[in-house]
Amino acid sequence: MKTRIIIIVIMFSIGLASCTTSSEKEQLQKQLDTKKLEYSNLKLEINKLQDQLSELDSTNNTKGIAVNVQELEPQKFQHFFDVNSSFEAVNYAYISPETSGQLKQILVKEGDEVKKGQLLAKLNTAIIENSIAEVKTALALSKTIYKKQKELWEKNIGSELDYLRAKTEKESMENKLSTLQSQLDMSLIKSPINGILDQINIREGELAMPGQLMMKVVNLKNFYLNAEVSESYLPYLHKGDQAEIKLMSYNTPPITAPIYRISNIINKENRSFTVQIKVENIDGIIKPNMLAMARFKDFESEAALVVPSILVKKDFHGDYLFIAQQKNGKAFAHKVYVKTGKSINDVTMIQSGLQAGDKIIINGYNQVVEGSLLSIK
C-alpha cells in the first residue's frame, strides 16, 4: 500500500514539473518577443535621433552620404517559370507477330532506315505454303467442274442440285485460299511506319508469339515534349502559347514552339498536369527520352515598376527600400515600405508603395537610414 502511494506521488510530481516547465517556456518566449520588438523600435529611434543631430551639425550640412539614384519609369515586365521535360517520338511502333511460329529470317539490322510496309522478318511458313498449294489445286478442279455444270445448267441439261454443289465447292475453296493467304501474310513481319529500326529483341530460330516484343521502330522527324507542370499554373497556360525549349545535352539556341496540348486530368499523386509541345527535329539531334528545360510565361505587364531585387530589404514591418526626397533644397533618404510581386533575373516588380518618378537609391543604400543627408552623384 505504501509503495502504491509513493508511486502516485512521484508521478504527480513529474506531471507538475512538466506543466511548470512548459509554462515557464511560454513566458520566456513572450518576454523574448517583446524585447526583440522593443529593440527594433529603439534602433529606429536611435537612427532618427542620430540623423537629426547630423542635420543640425554645421559640419554635416554641406556634405552628405554619396549615393546614386535611379528614377522609376514604367517598363514591360515578363515572368517565366521552368519545368524539366522529356521528349517522346510522335510516331513509334513496338512490333510483335500476329501469329505463333519459328522465326525463319530477319531481313534488317538495328540502325537501318525502313519504310512503311517494308518486310522485316519471316516466320516459318512451310506448312501454310503447302496448304496453299493443295487448296490451289483443289480450287482449279472445282472451278473446272463449276464451269461445266454451269454450261449444262444454262442448256437445261443436268440437275440444279449438281450445279449448286459445284458452285458451293468452288466458293468454299476460294474462301479457304483467302484464309490461308491471310495466315501467310501474318507470318510476314512488316514495318507499320517510316523510321529507324532501333531494337531487335529476338534471334533467328527462336519461337515468336503474339504480344511478344520483336522489334522497335521509331520515326525521328517529329517529337512531343512532355512537361509535368504544377496545378497552380493551370490558369496561366493555354493551347497555342509560345514556350522556349532548352536542350540539356547541347549548347544550342533555345527552340520556340507553341503549346500543342494541355492535359484535362490532374495527377492526384503530385498535383500536376501534362503540357505537350510538338517539335520538329530539324537538325536530327533530338532523341527519344532526351531531357530538356521548358520555359513558360505566366505573367506579363506592359507598364510595371521594377527595381533590382538586391535593393529590397525586410524588417519586422515588411519589405522596404530607400528613395531620395528633396527637402529645403537638400536630398534626404526616405524609407518606403512596399508590396512586392514576382521576381526574375535579379529584378522584382513593385505592386504598391512606389510610383513613377520616385528616385530609388541604387548605390550606397546600405549606408543610409531614414533621414540621412545625401550627396547624389
The span from the CA of 204 to the CA of 202, in Å, is 7
User: Which has the minimum average pLDDT: 43-52, 64-73, 160-169?
Assistant: 43-52
According to the model, what pLDDT value does residue 295 have?
96
**Mapping DSSP to helix (H, G, I), strand (E, B) and coil, where does residue 331 land?**
strand
The strand pair at 330-337 and 272-280 is best described as: unpaired
According to the model, what pLDDT value does residue 131 have?
83
Please give the DSSP secondary-structure letter assigned to residue 267: B
User: Which has the minimum average pLDDT: 161-170, 252-261, 353-362, 368-377?
Assistant: 161-170
The three cell numbers of residue 191 are 514495318
Domains of the chain, first to last: 59-75+302-376 (2.40.420.20), 81-91+220-300 (2.40.30.170), 96-217 (2.40.50.100)
Greater confidence (159 vs 341) lies with: 341
According to the model, what pLDDT value does residue 58 have?
43
For range 115-140, the mean pLDDT = 87
The span from the CA of 97 to the CA of 42, in Å, is 84
Q: Model pTM greater than 0.85?
A: no
14 burial (CB, 10 Å; 0-12 / 13-18 / 19+) is exposed
The strand pair at 65-71 and 373-376 is best described as: parallel
| Residue (of 96, 65, 167, 166) closest to 374 by Cα position | 65
Contacts of 373 (CB under 8 A, 6+ apart): 51, 54, 55, 60, 61, 63, 64, 65, 330, 331, 332
Confidence of residue 4 (pLDDT cuts 50, 70, 90): low
The span from the CA of 281 to the CA of 262, in Å, is 21
The span from the CA of 96 to the CA of 214, in Å, is 5
Confidence of residue 5 (pLDDT cuts 50, 70, 90): low
